[in-house]
């Protein structure tokens, strides 16, 4: 269990099975993954435990080509991130499924694809931003 996961489970008392769907946890995990990649680029890190954990979660919640709705995972935040960080226009669930497959493949390939590391770091940071923005919007909408 990673330090991040153990802090959520032990200190915050979150159920470990529900963490994978939590935008709080996914945003922290993506941010830590971005930091791991950045530290690797600066020669300070060789471990990618948060990147690996995020990859495993994305694999468990991988969309299929026939899915027509988003349920059980913050897919909308991932979709928004992919729309900005991809050269392709992602409009349908099937297109997001393809992008998720590519992302998982690239995350598994870290650190072998050195040319792509900066882009992956930025994508993980943008994913974090979208997750935090969604949480903020949900808090605001619940006030009114």
Distance, CA of 51 to chain centre: 9
- Residue 45: its pLDDT value, please? 86
CA 55 from chain centre, in angstroms, equals 8
pLDDT (0 to 100) of residue 142: 42
| Interatomic CA distance for residues 27 and 32, integer angstroms | 9
Residue 49: what pLDDT?
Answer: 93
Coil vs helix vs strand at 64: coil
Cβ contact 124:31 at 8 Å = yes
pLDDT tens for each residue of the chain, 144 residues long: 567 776 777 766 666 667 788 888 899 999 999 999 999 999 998 899 999 999 999 999 998 888 777 777 888 889 889 888 677 777 788 888 888 999 999 999 999 888 899 999 999 999 999 999 987 776 654 443
């Amino acid at each position: 269990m990673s330090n991040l996961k153990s802090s959520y489970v032990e200190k915050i008392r979150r159920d470990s099975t529900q963490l994978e769907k939590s935008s709080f946890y996914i945003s922290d995990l993506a941010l830590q993954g971005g930091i791991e990649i950045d530290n690797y680029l600066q020669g300070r890190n060789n471990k990618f435990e948060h990147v690996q954990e995020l990859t495993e979660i994305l694999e468990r919640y991988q969309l299929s080509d026939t899915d027509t709705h988003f349920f059980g995972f913050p897919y909308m935040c991932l979709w928004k991130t992919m729309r900005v960080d991809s050269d392709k226009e992602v409009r349908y669930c099937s297109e997001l499924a393809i992008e998720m497959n590519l992302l998982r493949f690239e995350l598994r390939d870290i650190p072998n694809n050195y040319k792509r590391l900066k882009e992956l770091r930025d994508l993980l940071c943008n994913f974090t931003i979208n997750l935090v923005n969604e949480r903020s919007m949900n808090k605001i909408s619940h006030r009114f």
